[in-house]
Structure 1
Amino acid sequence: MQYDLLSETVSIRTVSENEKEGVFEIEGLYTGYGATVGNALRRVLLSSLPGAAITQVKLKGASHEFTAVPGVIEDMVEIMLNLKRIRFRLNTNEPQVLSIRKKGEGEVLASDIDVNPSVEVITPDHHIATVTEKGAEFDMEITVEQGLGYVPAEVRRSEKLPIGVIALDAIFSPVIKVHTHVENMRVGDRTDYDRLRITVETSGSISPSQALHQSTKILQDHFIKLSEVEVKEAKPSVKSSSSKKEKDSDESLAPKKKSTKSKK
């Protein structure tokens, strides 16, 4: 029976794509490789692509995350939750400190963030807070950084932040959702090859096709590196060897039991 793990008919095509969602099909995969390739791509897409997020915030009048902010409907916890959902595109690896300053009543949106040429707000209409008093002043500083995956606030709290600065859980991944589906297809005389359909949803800071390409490149680089590594035979550790000697020594020193014969 003939088989070909990497068929010449392997191809990828775009079924549909817009700024935030794309559907792609990889065809001609050997039996079982649809799930293998799909699972690998899904894990890399969700955890290994760089993105930008707010990592810490400082709001005038709020000393900690459980503070009620004067003249604002939302408390600090709600404001922090709103900040986590803002999406950015960062064109530098350096942390960027940005400000939001608004006087008088009204809604505070992500578009009110005073950005610089290195930062772009992908979700400008996202709600942050609501100021209810005419004389109130909303004065906030946020830090936007590049990172991978998800970093909890506890990690940043251990860095001894200045008084008044509150750490946020940071969701850096630009990919929001990935779905894979595998079905059979015909290759030559065989009908048990795999077709992998993969749906990628992003925040808009990166296109779905770019996300898929970067994930493929990350996997490729890892496998190329592994293929160049010489596999060496594992040698027994010194500890295990010495512990065996000690065991043998203990057994030789242990008193031997005398065998007794029963008398008839």
Structure 2
Amino acid sequence: MSTIPRLNQIQFEGFCGFMDRGLTEELYKFPKIEDTKILMNLKEIVLRGNLYGTRNAFICAKGPGYVTAQDIILPPSVEIVDNTQHVASLTEPIDLCIGLQIERNRGYGIKTPKNFHDGSYLIDAVFMPVRNANHSIHCYGNDNEK
């Protein structure tokens, strides 16, 4: 009999890094971006693929308008499960370009918050697209057996 792996043992892809590509202020202070929870929104995006090592992805969008998961340019071995997920709202005509890092791991990757010299940040990654599961056990055998 083989054992079924626990959900926290299965590896998934997730965003683990953020690279500022030309923004002059931190995102939460940037007046032309209405949504201040860009990193939180990125953590909610479920990725699917077969990734080895760390790969780069990019968000490039023009404002004003909404930025969704379909605006993320991914490596060929990774795809987004729901392309309609909200990332940010741009309130003025700006060019937004953010670099992202993707890696494959399991569980919840807590990173030490660091700001590197090149404008990149490590972010806590969520490698668990299944957040909640229910189960039940049923007996399908013959009730008359002893």
TM range (shorter): 0.7 to 0.9
Matches of 2:23 and 2:11 in 1, distance apart? 33
1:112-167: per-residue Cα shift (whole Å, max 9, x none)? 11223222121211110011112x1211001111001111133xx47x74442222
Higher Cα Rg, which structure? 1
Indicate which of 77, 88, 94 corresponds to 1:118.
Answer: 77
Quick check: 1:166 aligned with 2:121? Answer: yes
Q: Which runs of 5+ in 1 are unaligned?
A: 1-5, 7-39, 191-264
Kept after mapping to 2: 8 A contact 1:63/1:163: no
**Structure 1 residue 130 corresponds to structure 2 residue 89:** yes
Cα distance in 1 between the residues matched to 2:31 and 2:118: 19
TM-score (norm 1): 0.48
- CA pair 80-107 structure 1, distance change in 2 beyond 3 A: same
- The structure carrying a bigger helix percent of its residues is 1
**What is the aligned residue count?**
144
Distance 1:84 1:102 in 2: 19
Answering whether residue 31 of structure 2 is matched by residue 73 of structure 1, we say: no
Opposite residue 125 of structure 1, the aligned amino acid is T
Task: Work out which structure has the larger RCO, using CA pairs closer than 8 Å and 6 or more positions apart in sequence.
Answer: 2
Give the alignment of 1:1-264 within 5 angstroms: 41=4, 44-59=5-20, 60-61=22-23, 67-75=28-36, 78-134=37-93, 136-154=94-112, 157=113, 161-183=116-138, 186=142, 189-190=145-146
Normalised to the residue count of structure 2, the TM-score between the two structures is: 0.82
Kept after mapping to 1: 8 A contact 2:18/2:122: yes
Relative to structure 1, the CA distance from residue 64 to residue 71 in structure 2 (aligned partners, 3 Å threshold; closer, same or farther) is: closer
Instruction: Tell me the distance in 2 between the aligned counterparts of 1:123 and 1:103.
Output: 21
Which amino acid is 2:99 matched to? Answer: E
- CA-CA distance at 1:63 after TM superposition: 5.7
